[in-house]
Amino acid sequence: MDKQTINQLQKIVGPDQLTTTTEELLCYSYDGTAREYLPEAVAFPGSTAEVSAIMRLASQVLLPVVVRGAGSGMTGGALPLKGGLVMAMSRMHKIIEIDTDNHVAVVEPGVITGQFQDEVRRLGLYYPPDPASLKFCTLGGNIAECAGGPSAVKYGVTRDYVLGLEAVLPDGRIINTGVRTAKGVVGYDLTRLLTGSEGTLAIITKIILKLLPMPTNRATFLVVSNSIKQATALVSRILSQHTPCTLEYMDRTALKIVESELPFALPPAAESLLIIEVDGNQETVTSQAKNLHIFLKNEPDLLSVRQAQDEAERAALWSARRAISPSAFKLKPHKISEDVVVPRSKIAELVTFTETLAAEQQTTIFTFGHAGDGNIHVNIMLDKNNSEELARGLIAKKKLFTQVLNLGGTLSGEHGIGITKSEYLAMELDENSLELMKGLKNLFDPLNILNPGKIFPPDQTSQKNI
Amino acid sequence: MDKQTINQLQKIVGPDQLTTTTEELLCYSYDGTAREYLPEAVAFPGSTAEVSAIMRLASQVLLPVVVRGAGSGMTGGALPLKGGLVMAMSRMHKIIEIDTDNHVAVVEPGVITGQFQDEVRRLGLYYPPDPASLKFCTLGGNIAECAGGPSAVKYGVTRDYVLGLEAVLPDGRIINTGVRTAKGVVGYDLTRLLTGSEGTLAIITKIILKLLPMPTNRATFLVVSNSIKQATALVSRILSQHTPCTLEYMDRTALKIVESELPFALPPAAESLLIIEVDGNQETVTSQAKNLHIFLKNEPDLLSVRQAQDEAERAALWSARRAISPSAFKLKPHKISEDVVVPRSKIAELVTFTETLAAEQQTTIFTFGHAGDGNIHVNIMLDKNNSEELARGLIAKKKLFTQVLNLGGTLSGEHGIGITKSEYLAMELDENSLELMKGLKNLFDPLNILNPGKIFPPDQTSQKNI
């Protein structure tokens, strides 16, 4: 990046809001994938007008721009693969409006998801999407990736809560998509096209979100089983008769990793834990909990069925659940972490497959995740510096993807493609769809300056690379 | 259309599945707008391969093609504006699969919505979208328009139930979008881009739908008020404390139109009826109904609060509700029927506005619809053959749209733009969004042969018109 461009960027955001020092650049060079790419500069725009001005400049000088929320993404969406400018949205963190009459909120992209949930909860409202990183990830990042979380089994994913967006196109033009009402079908659905587009089509500068009334009550059940197949086979049967707001599972290895943080002792034969929650008002939760308890008690061969006694026990449990991913590094210094989805009736089959795969590739593979919607986090543990281990890990990854697709599943439920899955994209998408998607990228970003190198495998794109 | 093209079409679908006789063409010349455009031929493809072959041919000879489900659309989506070929999807009406373990169905586009709902209900499952035309409209048409219905207040619209699609592009290529799992974020969201695209981007040939467990119980409340403002002001307050699966209202004129079909006598001072339903299992419905009853009984000044006594009473009520739109012609031979949406806290303001507008334009305007999500059906009654009445009706329509947008609303909640709203599109969408949407149309359909002339106002499109 030349001096003139840096000067112009400084003029746009102010001298304090642009950095090029190596120490600071390093802070914006990594994300949840633990890969690193150093940007040439980081800008902290404070308004849509500044974002627009940056993109007009970037278009003129063909500067690659990568937007960054909290950098908690799992597939490299926020990594400046081609160097250039990282646009950090941390200053655009205002909750602009919470409309309690209409259950709508308007926010800037840098708002922390968990803080937003706390704010709306104080007003009796509920924003369901709850990725494990909710204490630090941002709403803008959640929308870029279409984040999910445990609540998705009942409440759906981020996509289901985005009513409208303000966004800046790669050439600096501003668009307003969608509505601030529950319904709206005017023109093509740009709102959902941008949601999950991994920061490659436009820069989200304002978000209109749908809210729900806050469920006042909740009951949490912990089901320990000595068979992962038995546990996962329960999932479809639970969902045919009950409507839990969470249906998570952990396998034995996941349990071991966080055992010391669990608020109760595990029976020695524990092979799997299911976490099942129901929510609603006091009466409906009492009724649902009663029915669920009867159902679970009638299941033969479960090691234990326990109801969380209080909010502290529940909080401890969830804290342990959210710690699985970071705590996995106790096993090995690196992991290949996938968020595949299979039809939930196929979870047991997938889990069996990963066990065989682990034995075959002489590696540790553990699984946990959102059993209710078949979204399984598969973790292949390895030391990347051991090239043979890495090679076996990559073979396991490819075989896993093949099996997932054979089972009628998809390569990603909530993390997106980014760079970690781009070379596998054509395993799932047909050639015509892929070509259309490249056409979409080219329509929005003909100069390929916005988050270049993401989603599409490098050798397959016909776009101009910078 | 020349003889050679007709011969080639006959070769593709078989001689019995193509018609060019005027009597038959007439049956495919109109839709729910009561406008008429005669096609030159109607083809009845029986498979995706046939649809693909037709589009390859259409691309070669620049033949306009309009896809038709049941022709029940309200904005002209199925009208062959430029002549050419109507592709009627009535033969592609198979329910291919209902997966009860995973709550997923795969269907062809010609399946009737209501019949599909009945089929899945037999298996204990529920497909919520319920447009008033559900007894004859098709799932393909519902997806093309992103149809809604009374259940949307709790369950969302068609978009929320479409997991994946098979579709034929205007050049005949076939794409498979989305997933058959609850989650999926691989590549850009072509599924939601096609949903609501009004048959202008691709031809839907297969649909993967999400299903829910069927709620076993339901309670229906009828609330009669002597003030439309009082009734609509109740809406936000009900939704802040309750989660009804339906929250509809009718104004006095709507009530009068269907009064003879209502299963109970109206008090003479009735100005508005609210229909409120809750659903769930027996225990949760009992609890919800009790709370709702207490809430309503504590409301001062309501003329009556009545709970439907049995399924027959409820069915009669809904039959009357669905009859409003067709029965409106008792008042005048034509109507301008809009499905605007406003934030639900603004419904009373909108209703007051329509009363003033009716007086000002010396016309009858009545409103009813989905109060829970602010989606109000506004009907401006007129005789189109009376040019002065028509002119006043169109002035009222424009003024209505201006007010709806001023209130933070949108021009269409579930009917789409088609031809009846295309000239008003730029009132809602900004120039940059409009240009992007035209770019999307051009990306999918560079020859502009698929449903040409829809959505975009004719003088504003830069596309080649055939």
Has residue A194 been placed in a domain? yes
* Partner-chain residue, chosen from B185, B344, B410, that has the shortest CB–CB distance to A102: B344
Q: Is the CB of A343 less than 8 angstroms away from the CB of B213? A: no
Can you tell me the ipTM of this complex? 0.96
Last residue of a domain, one of B155, B190, B213: B213
Question: Are both A209 and A224 inside the same structural domain?
Answer: no
Q: Is the CB of A193 less than 8 angstroms away from the CB of B195? A: no
Write the CATH number for B226.
3.30.70.2190
Residue of A157, A183, A283 to mutate for B, most B C-beta atoms under 10 A? A183
> One-letter amino acid identity for A187?
G
Residue A292 belongs to domain spanning: 217-324
Whether the CB-CB separation of A404 and B147 falls below 8 Å is answered with no
The DSSP 8-state label assigned to residue A30 in this structure reads B
Residue of A74, A181, A286 to mutate for B, most B C-beta atoms under 10 A? A181
B39-82, pLDDT tens digit by residue? 999 999 999 999 999 999 999 999 999 999 999 999 999 999 99
Question: Are both A79 and A113 inside the same structural domain?
Answer: no
Rounded Cα gap, residues B11 and B255, in angstroms: 52
Q: Phi-psi region for residue B346, left (φ > 0), alpha (ψ -120 to 50) or beta?
A: alpha
Which residues pair with residue A306 across a beta bridge? A222
CA distances from B147 to B120, B140, B178, B198, B199 (A): 19, 10, 19, 11, 13
Question: Are both B136 and B206 inside the same structural domain?
Answer: yes
Question: Are both B192 and B224 inside the same structural domain?
Answer: no
SS3 A363: coil
User: Nearest CA to CA, how far is B141 from chain A (Å)?
Assistant: 14
Q: Is the CB of B374 less than 8 angstroms away from the CB of A102? A: yes
Beta-carbon count within 10 A of B23 CB: 7
Write the CATH number for A51.
3.30.43.10
Question: Are both A108 and A124 inside the same structural domain?
Answer: yes
* Partner-chain residue, chosen from B101, B190, B283, that has the shortest CB–CB distance to A236: B101
Q: Is the CB of A177 less than 8 angstroms away from the CB of B213? A: no
Q: Is the CB of A375 less than 8 angstroms away from the CB of B183? A: yes
Phi, psi of B170 (to 5 degrees): -55, -25
Which residues does A255 contact at the CB level (< 8 Å), separation at least 6? A262, A266, A270, A272, A273
Question: Are both A286 and A194 inside the same structural domain?
Answer: no
Has residue A406 been placed in a domain? yes
Q: What is the DSSP string of A263-331?
A: SSPPPTT--EEEEEEEEESHHHHHHHHHHHHHHHHTSTTEEEEEE--SHHHHHHHHHHHHHHHHHGGGT
Has residue A308 been placed in a domain? yes
Largest CA distance in chain B: 73
Residue given tokens 């770019």 in the structure block? B439
Interface A-B: count of C-beta contacts within 8 A = 262
CA distances from B97 to A244, B33, B103, B106 (A): 25, 33, 11, 5
Write the CATH number for B194.
3.30.465.10
How many structural domains is chain B composed of? 4
State the pairing for strand pair B364-370/B375-382.
antiparallel
User: Nearest CA to CA, how far is B49 from chain A (Å)?
Assistant: 15
Contacts of A175 in chain B (CB under 8 A): 430, 432-433, 436
Residue of B nearest to A201 (CA): B188
Question: Are both A203 and A102 inside the same structural domain?
Answer: yes
Residue given tokens 């299911």 in the structure block? A274
Contacts of A444 in chain B (CB under 8 A): 436
CA distances from B139 to B89, B90, B323 (A): 11, 11, 21
Q: Is the dihedral of CA A313, A314, A316, A320 positive or negative?
A: positive
Question: Are both A118 and A186 inside the same structural domain?
Answer: yes
The DSSP 8-state label assigned to residue B267 in this structure reads P
Question: Are both A318 and A338 inside the same structural domain?
Answer: no
Rounded Cα gap, residues B173 and A349, in angstroms: 34
Q: Is the CB of B181 less than 8 angstroms away from the CB of A341? A: yes
* Partner-chain residue, chosen from B179, B421, B455, that has the shortest CB–CB distance to A410: B179
Residue of B nearest to A195 (CA): B189
Has residue A425 been placed in a domain? no
Rounded Cα gap, residues A248 and A235, in angstroms: 9
* Partner-chain residue, chosen from A190, A425, A436, that has the shortest CB–CB distance to B436: A190
Contacts of B436 in chain A (CB under 8 A): 169, 175, 190, 443-444
Nearest to B285 by CA among B222, B235, B234, B215: B215
Q: Outline where DSSP puts E strands in A325-429.
A: 334-341, 364-370, 375-382
Rounded Cα gap, residues A332 and B374, in angstroms: 54
Beta-carbon count within 10 A of A126 CB: 17
Question: Are both A221 and A200 inside the same structural domain?
Answer: no
Question: Are both B208 and B161 inside the same structural domain?
Answer: yes
Whether the CB-CB separation of A246 and A151 falls below 8 Å is answered with yes
Whether the CB-CB separation of B67 and B142 falls below 8 Å is answered with no
pLDDT one digit per residue (tens) for chain A, 466 residues: 999 999 999 999 999 999 999 999 999 999 999 899 999 999 999 999 999 999 999 999 999 999 999 999 999 999 999 999 999 999 999 999 999 999 999 999 999 999 999 999 999 999 999 999 999 999 999 999 999 999 999 999 999 999 999 999 999 999 999 999 999 999 999 999 999 999 999 999 999 999 999 999 999 999 999 998 889 889 989 998 899 999 999 999 999 999 888 888 889 999 999 999 999 988 889 989 999 999 999 998 899 999 999 999 999 888 888 889 888 998 999 999 999 999 999 999 999 999 999 999 999 999 999 999 999 999 999 999 999 999 999 999 999 999 999 999 999 999 999 999 999 999 999 999 999 999 999 999 999 999 999 999 876 444 443 3
Phi, psi of B96 (to 5 degrees): -75, -40
Contacts of A102 in chain B (CB under 8 A): 236, 343-345, 374
Rounded Cα gap, residues A335 and A368, in angstroms: 14
Has residue B59 been placed in a domain? yes
Report chain A's terminal Cα–Cα distance, integer Å. Answer: 13
B425-446, pLDDT tens digit by residue? 999 999 999 999 999 999 999 9
Nearest to B186 by CA among A174, A134, A339: A339
Write the CATH number for B401.
3.30.70.2740
Has residue A462 been placed in a domain? no
- Helices A282-297, A228-241: inter-axial angle, 10-degree rounding: 140
Question: Are both B158 and B260 inside the same structural domain?
Answer: no
Has residue B466 been placed in a domain? no
Has residue B175 been placed in a domain? yes
Q: What would the two tokens of residue A202 be?
A: 């436009």
Last residue of a domain, one of A371, A398, A416: A416
Last residue of a domain, one of B324, B357, B384: B324
Contacts of A240 in chain B (CB under 8 A): 100-101, 124, 213
Rounded Cα gap, residues B400 and B392, in angstroms: 12
Rounded Cα gap, residues B349 and B344, in angstroms: 10
Nearest to A325 by CA among A98, A461, A137: A137
